[in-house]
Copies of this chain bind each other. A is one copy, B any other.
Amino acid sequence: MKLTILGCYSATPRTLGNTTSQVLEIANHMFLIDCGEGTQVQLRKHKIKFNRIKHIFISHLHGDHFFGLVGLISTFRLLTREADLHIYGPKGIKEVVTLQMKLADSWTNYRLYFHELSSTTSELIFEDDKIQVHTIPLEHRVYTNGYLFKEKEGDRKLDIDAVEEANIDMAYYRKLKQGFDIENEDGVLIDNETVTFPAEKPKSYAFCSDTVYKTDIVPIIKDVDVLYHESTFLEAHAHLAPKTKHSTAKEAAKIAKQANAGTLILGHYSSRYPNLEVFKDEAQTVFKNVKLAQDGKVFSFH
């Protein structure tokens, strides 16, 4: 699981700070999460292949999280993309994208699927054999969702030497991977654990931006490996958080602690703070394993 931060600042793009967008590589997917203005240039800068992006998840329709979307869709068209593109986001996202395509008389030559969200409880919005994606209903000034990406339990790995030694027919390898005990060619029941290695532990990632401090999300993201939680403010401006429906670094850490997260990544910093290290310091008074998002930073989790 690999996370590339394309932008992690709040409000407005600046010369040295992009608004929210990130790419999550997980279970053979390359998911784009949020798409602030300039995201397509950030994708180029970080050499992320446009064609590998098949799913885009938009948290909410504030500009710093989606003003780059229509440009990216348009660029995909100009680069003669053929692969389908799925867009998940709040109700209204389809209208605003299609209106711009209509005005430009520029329709995509690839298939564009909009999955508009309006539920206020967590729902399963994408699933394949390796992963599930659920919404995380957040509380912000407009309708907002975070997203939980959760790998499924994978197959056990064969211990090939042991399997051959145990004289098991190849036809049973699939069953072995699924964890079954198998009778070998001599009619002896072979204990699965003696011929296989455990599956890799499934990874999970929760993206939570933008939101006021909201403990309702804790059960949804319980035991998540990596939690990205917005931290717009430091303690000095904690009074602004409920007013603007944002969180402080310390509040993000409280959520991480309650959810028993493995790692907390902070981001969505207000541009009023020149020194990001203070976000980490304040969060670590509550939760130890804190990392700071920064534009261009890549986090790998094994």
Interface on A for B, CB 8 Å cutoff? 11-15, 37-38, 40-41, 44-45, 61-63, 67-68, 70-71, 74-75, 78-79, 90, 92-93, 95-96, 99-100, 103-106, 141-142
Contact = CB atoms under 8 A, between A and B. Distances in A.
A103 B99 contact: no
A90 B105 CA distance: 13
Oligomer copy total: 2
Nearest to A63: B74
Q: Which of A11, A12, A68 gathers the greatest number of chain B CB atoms within 10 Å?
A: A12
A92 B103 contact: yes
A79 B96 CA distance: 24
A63 B104 contact: yes
A37 B71 contact: yes
A103 to B, nearest CB: 4
Given A44-B14, A95-B99, A142-B104, A67 B74 contact: yes
A216 to B, nearest CB: 22
A33 B95 CA distance: 27
B11 A78 contact: yes
Contacts of A40: 12-13, 37
A68 B37 contact: yes
A24 to B, nearest CB: 22
Given A38-B38, A96-B103, 8 more contacts: A12-B74, A37-B40, A37-B71, A61-B103, A63-B71, A67-B67, A99-B99, A104-B142
A99 B103 CA distance: 13
Q: Which of A15, A37, A68, A141 gathers the greatest number of chain B CB atoms within 10 Å?
A: A37
A38 B7 CA distance: 14
Contacts of A41: 13-15, 38
A75 B12 contact: yes
Give 6 closest A-B pairs by Cβ, nearest first: A61-B103, A12-B75, A63-B74, A37-B71, A92-B103, A67-B71
A170 to B, nearest CB: 49
A12 B105 contact: no
A12 B44 CA distance: 11
A14 B62 CA distance: 24
A11 to B, nearest CB: 5
A224 to B, nearest CB: 28
A14 B37 CA distance: 13
Contacts of A78: 11-12
9 contacts: A14-B41, A14-B44, A37-B67, A61-B103, A63-B70, A63-B71, A63-B74, A63-B106, A93-B103
A100 B104 contact: no
A69 to B, nearest CB: 10
A176 to B, nearest CB: 48
B106 A62 contact: yes
